[in-house]
Amino acid sequence: MNTVQPIPRPGPVPVELAPGVHWVGALDPGLRVFDVILRTANGTSYNSYAVRGSGGVAVIDTVKAEFSDAFFAQLEQVARYDEITALVLNHLEPDHTGAVAELLRRAPQARIHVAPRGLDMLRALLKDDFADYQVVKVRTGDTADLGDRTLRFLTTPYVHWPETQCTYLEEQEILFTCDLMGCHFCDERLFNDAVGDFRFSFEYYFDHIMRPFRRHVSEALDLIEPLAISAIAPAHGPVLRSHPREYITHYRRLLTKRLASEVAQKTLLIFYVSAYGATSQMAAAVAEGASENPDVRVSLFDLAVGEVAPFVDLIEEADGIVLGTPTINGDAVKTVWDLLASLVDIETKGKLGGAFGSYGWTGEAVAMVESRLQGLKMRVPVKGIRIKLHPTLPELEDCRDYGRQLSAHLTGTAEPREIDFASL
Residues that bind ligand FEO (CB under 6 A): 91, 93, 95-96, 160, 179, 235-236
Q: How far is the CB of 235 from ligand FEO (least distance, A)?
A: 6
Q: How far is the CB of 87 from ligand FEO (least distance, A)?
A: 17
List all residues 6 or more positions away from 177 whose beta carbon is below 8 Å from its beta carbon.
90, 159, 166, 224, 232, 233, 234, 235
Q: How far is the CB of 131 from ligand FEO (least distance, A)?
A: 26
Q: What is the spatial distance between Cα 51 and Cα 137, in angstroms, rounded to a whole number?
A: 20
Q: What is the spatial distance between Cα 239 and Cα 194, in angstroms, rounded to a whole number?
A: 10
Of 265, 273, 269, 350, nearest to 304 by C-alpha is: 273
**Residue 235 or 355 with smaller CB distance to ligand FEO:** 235
Q: How far is the CB of 369 from ligand FEO (least distance, A)?
A: 30
Q: What is the spatial distance between Cα 340 and Cα 376, in angstroms, rounded to a whole number?
A: 9
**Residue 93 or 395 with smaller CB distance to ligand FEO:** 93
Task: Assign 3-class secondary structure to 242-267.
Answer: CCHHHHHHHHHHHHHHHHCCCCCCEE
**Residue 91 or 113 with smaller CB distance to ligand FEO:** 91
Q: What is the spatial distance between Cα 162 and Cα 143, in angstroms, rounded to a whole number?
A: 20
**Residue 25 or 289 with smaller CB distance to ligand FEO:** 25
Answer yes or no: are the C-beta atoms of 17 and 174 closer than 8 Å: yes
**Residue 95 or 395 with smaller CB distance to ligand FEO:** 95
Answer yes or no: are the C-beta atoms of 144 and 58 closer than 8 Å: yes
**Residue 89 or 387 with smaller CB distance to ligand FEO:** 89
**Residue 93 or 187 with smaller CB distance to ligand FEO:** 93
Q: How far is the CB of 233 from ligand FEO (least distance, A)?
A: 14
Q: What is the spatial distance between Cα 3 and Cα 6, in angstroms, rounded to a whole number?
A: 10
Measure the CA angle with vertex 208, ends 189 and 338; round to 5°.
Answer: 140
Q: How far is the CB of 46 from ligand FEO (least distance, A)?
A: 8
Q: How far is the CB of 194 from ligand FEO (least distance, A)?
A: 22
Q: Side-chain half-sphere of 146: how many Cα atoms within 13 Å?
A: 28
CA 223 from chain center: how many Å?
19
Say how many C-beta atoms besides its own lie within 10 A of residue 172's C-beta: 15
Q: How far is the CB of 110 from ligand FEO (least distance, A)?
A: 21
Q: What is the spatial distance between Cα 51 and Cα 260, in angstroms, rounded to a whole number?
A: 40
Q: How far is the CB of 40 from ligand FEO (least distance, A)?
A: 12
Residue with the shortest CB distance to ligand FEO: 93
Helix spans in 25-182 (H): 68-78, 94-97, 100-106, 119-126
**Residue 138 or 235 with smaller CB distance to ligand FEO:** 235
346 secondary structure, DSSP code? S
**Residue 93 or 319 with smaller CB distance to ligand FEO:** 93
